[in-house]
Amino acid sequence: MPYGIEDDPRDVTRMLAHMNSNVPVKRRSLIDYIDNGGYTYETKGGDICSFGREGIDYLESICTEQEKLTLKLPIFVSTDPSSESGGWRIDGRTEVAVVARMLGKRVHSEDRMSLYYPDLFQLKKLIPDLVYTLFMP
């Protein structure tokens, strides 16, 4: 039998830890980026990811003053395990309001929004470096 993951449980632990190492952890508000610059965010693994000012300018132009204070970047889009058709979702009041406005969609729930691939594609075209996709089990 070839050497596999089941032979060394430390490999599984290491693999799971590595899978989550690129998740942004230190997310700043839109207003913080507007006021202070520094177009980066830090990942769980300690990496620094950078992005351009274009997405910040676009979000600044469509957000209310309150949304600028509460919108954390990057915006998380996660797989929706409850979706039978393999959809995506956005969670959070501010995130849902802003993304709905960006995509021209109606909001059915204040703090949760379902998306499908064409929506995700359009969102990534509008703010390519400020959308982070999470794959949930």
Cis geometry, peptide bond prior to residue 74 (ω within 30 degrees of 0): yes
Output the DSSP codes for 12-79.
Answer: HHHHHHHHTTTSEEEPEEHHHHHHH---EEEETTS-EEE--SHHHHHHHHH--HHHHHH-EESEEEEE
Q: Is residue 14 part of a domain?
A: no
Q: Is residue 73 part of a domain?
A: yes
* Cα-Cα-Cα-Cα dihedral sign, residues 12, 17, 22, 25: positive
Q: Is residue 2 part of a domain?
A: no
Residue-number span of the structural domain to which 61 is assigned = 28-40+52-134
Q: Is residue 111 part of a domain?
A: yes
Q: Is residue 119 part of a domain?
A: yes
- Res. 1 pLDDT band, cuts 50 70 90: very low
Residue range 106-130: average pLDDT?
93
- Domain count for the chain: 1
What integer pLDDT is reported at residue 135 of this predicted model?
77
- Res. 20 pLDDT band, cuts 50 70 90: low
Share of the chain above pLDDT 70, in %: 81
How many angstroms separate the CA atoms of 18 and 115, rounded? Answer: 27
Q: Is residue 121 part of a domain?
A: yes
Residue range 86-106: average pLDDT?
94
- Res. 21 pLDDT band, cuts 50 70 90: confident
What integer pLDDT is reported at residue 49 of this predicted model?
92
Q: Is residue 47 part of a domain?
A: no
Residue type, 70: T
Q: Is residue 95 part of a domain?
A: yes
